[in-house]
Structure 1
Amino acid sequence: MPGDAVAAYLAELAEQRRQSPHTVSNYRRDLRRLLTLAGEIPLAELQVHHIRRYVAQLHGQGLSGRSLARLLSAWRGFFKWLGRGDAVRANPCEGVRSPKPPKHLPNALSVDEAARLLEPDDESDPVLAARDSAMFELFYSSGLRLAELAALNCDALDTALHEGEIRVLGKRSKARLVPVGSKAREALAAWAAVRTSLATEGEPGLFVGQRGGRISHRMIQLRLARRAVQLGLPRHVHPHMLRHSFASHILQSSGDLRAVQEMLGHASIASTQVYTHLDFQHLAKVYDAAHPRAKR
């Protein structure tokens, strides 16, 4: 019985492959959906055209491309498992792809919003204010990822202050040099002057929390979001938004996509090309506001 096969497969996922209860629950839901769609058709008789029809049907009912991709992955794994026991001769999910989900453009601050965010802070603790200013300036100046900034050690200060660049370790342990602008260098120098009043002795981390150890990712996120709320910015601001803003503003000014790719540490330029869409949106807004034939 199909239900027995599903139960046996889910038991293997939970007991032998040590999948989480949440994952097993998702697989159970996805496989029940398959059995419902198949109806009276035995699993061994399902073919590619059946699976394609089911995917199209679910897509028509509003299931997103991302959800369909996960569902197909569950079905594909189940049929692969059935094939090991000779319950089916071929995997009907092979070669079936889900509809591509729409690409969501990254949220970026405007130049004015970024400038507001980086204005001097009225934080009551001047040491925390200096630290936060250095972190946020570095995010925007150099397009760093959250993990890259949090992992910086004090030895990065020398090249940042004297050579205007920092070496960071990005994804897949790929190192790259990124530029550090004058405002970020000023903020880093101010932080370096007071860092020892907060850091515990021997702590290598460049940015530290109130207990003196390396600052956590979560604390960086909270401090940035708090700063944006204090300034009345109309949306949630997170570290990656400053990275997006860096890339978008550099591209708007220079048009040099390859340079932005290098600075962001993208392995493929396809990852960087999303910022050309942001740039076009900016140009379209200028056009709509300024061209006499664009006004409605």
Structure 2
Amino acid sequence: MSGGVVSRLPADATDAALVEAYLDHVRVDKRLATRTVELYTGDLRRLSDAAQSAGIGLRQVQSAHVRRWVAQMHSAGRSARGIALILSGWRGLYVWMGRQGLVTQNPVQDVRAPKAGKPLPKALGVDESVQLASHVEEGDDPGLEARDGCITELLYGCGLRIGELVGLDVIASTTARGWIDIPGGEAHVLGKGSKRRSVPVGRAALAALERWLAARAAWANEDPALFIGQRGQRLTPQHIRVRLKRRSMLAGLSTPVHPHMLRHSFASHLLQSSGDLRAVQELLGHASIGTTQVYTRLDFQHLAKAYDAAHPRAKTRKPPDKTG
């Protein structure tokens, strides 16, 4: 069916009839997937119910009504993304109604969902990070174990991005994107915006690096990459993601670990210990300290959990009395 469906509707067609005609349109004319039509059906039922509660029909809905309903959904805990999807369905209905001459303006056109809160980076606890870094897979190939162990130590111990890690070469050169100065205990990497920075490499990571370099010799060819596969070619980011996920599962962690999670863990654990936000910014290679400040939120979560777990009065906390 198409726009002709509406022409056969009576002038006093109910909201239910309008919605059904529109759903026929998206189902037949636009050929939307069955699941999408089902979602539209629920969203439009929600719109019809809200309009009915306000004592109006769909053709009388104004932007003020829609904003009020958005605020109600937000207060009820619906996510910003969920609200945005609902508004998209409502907006489509009124675009269609406008083309049929049923409304003169789209009340949803200029209404936007609330901005989604920026999610906190996922970070491991200190114990989980140590558990992963200390894990040794006895049944694995010794070369693979040495390599994957070194990768884990550098990601967590230096806070490297995955691109910085795969760009490391065995030795410094004019063409190298990055390398590790073992005597100096520093990793020199090429970060975002082609900005170079140096970060300290701890003793555990240096020891893991020496084990890997000894094993790497059996696989090496002409590729200068620090981290290579058994055929001597530089590892890809995807290969490292797969290996790290596997390692985290074998180590008994409750959640699969990806490389950026170890970078977040490095930053949050360092901030918890030092409280030096500027130093964390430099080590991560953030251009703006505002990017780094997200880790202060992680740090507060750590403090709040420690308080709730340890303080005798934590379970009876009440919000401060603002009446006085």
TM-score normalised by the chain length of structure 1: 0.71
Shift of 1:131: 0.9
Correspondence 1:231 to 2:231: no
- Do the aligned residues in 2 keep the contact of 1:156 with 1:167 (CA within 8 Å)? yes
Q: 2:65 — aligned with what? A: 50
- Do the aligned residues in 1 keep the contact of 2:248 with 2:257 (CA within 8 Å)? yes
Shift of 1:5: 11
Structure 1 distance, partners of 2:29, 2:224, is 47
Out of 149, 161, 165, which is 1:149 matched to?
A: 165
Structure 1 distance, partners of 2:242, 2:212, is 19
- Check 1:151–1:158 CA distance in 2 against 1; reply closer, same or farther (3 A cut): closer
Q: 2:265 — aligned with what? A: 245
Where in structure 2 are the equivalents of 1:1-296 lying within 5 Å?
Answer: 1=6, 36=45, 37=47, 41-42=58-59, 47-56=62-71, 58-59=73-74, 63-72=78-87, 92-93=107-108, 95-101=110-116, 104-119=119-134, 121-123=136-138, 124-154=140-170, 155=176, 158-163=179-184, 164-170=186-192, 173-182=193-202, 183-199=204-220, 201-288=221-308
- Do the aligned residues in 2 keep the contact of 1:142 with 1:178 (CA within 8 Å)? no
Matching residue's letter, 2:155: F
Shift of 1:295: 8.4
- Do the aligned residues in 1 keep the contact of 2:136 with 2:145 (CA within 8 Å)? yes
Shift of 1:111: 2.4
Task: Say which SS state the counterpart of residue 187 (structure 1) adopts.
Answer: helix
Question: Which digits, 9 at most, give the CA deviation of each residue in 1:7-60, with x for residues without a partner?
Answer: 58x989x9xxxxxx88x975x666666655268534xx7532233244346557
- Do the aligned residues in 1 keep the contact of 2:191 with 2:197 (CA within 8 Å)? no
Matching residue's letter, 1:207: F
Shift of 1:75: 6.0
Identity over aligned pairs, percent: 46
- Do the aligned residues in 1 keep the contact of 2:169 with 2:225 (CA within 8 Å)? yes
Q: 1:18 — aligned with what? A: none
Structure 1 gaps, min length 5: 15-20
How many residue pairs get matched? 282
Task: Say which SS state the counterpart of residue 118 (structure 1) adopts.
Answer: helix
Task: Say which SS state the counterpart of residue 134 (structure 2) adopts.
Answer: coil
Question: Which digits, 9 at most, give the CA deviation of each residue in 1:248-269, with x for residues without a partner?
Answer: 1110122122322333344544
Question: Which digits, 9 at most, give the CA deviation of each residue in 1:44-96, with x for residues without a partner?
Answer: x7532233244346557764222223444576689789999x99876644553
Q: Which has the higher contact order (CA 8 A, sep 6+)?
A: 1
Structure 2 distance, partners of 1:63, 1:70, is 11
- Check 1:62–1:250 CA distance in 2 against 1; reply closer, same or farther (3 A cut): closer
- Do the aligned residues in 2 keep the contact of 1:160 with 1:180 (CA within 8 Å)? no
- Do the aligned residues in 1 keep the contact of 2:179 with 2:187 (CA within 8 Å)? no
Shift of 1:116: 2.4
TM-score normalised by the chain length of structure 2: 0.66
Structure 2 distance, partners of 1:76, 1:146, is 41
Query: Between Structure 1 and Structure 2, whose CA radius of gyration is higher?
Result: 2
From the two aligned structures, give the one with the greater helix fraction.
1
Structure 2 distance, partners of 1:95, 1:265, is 39
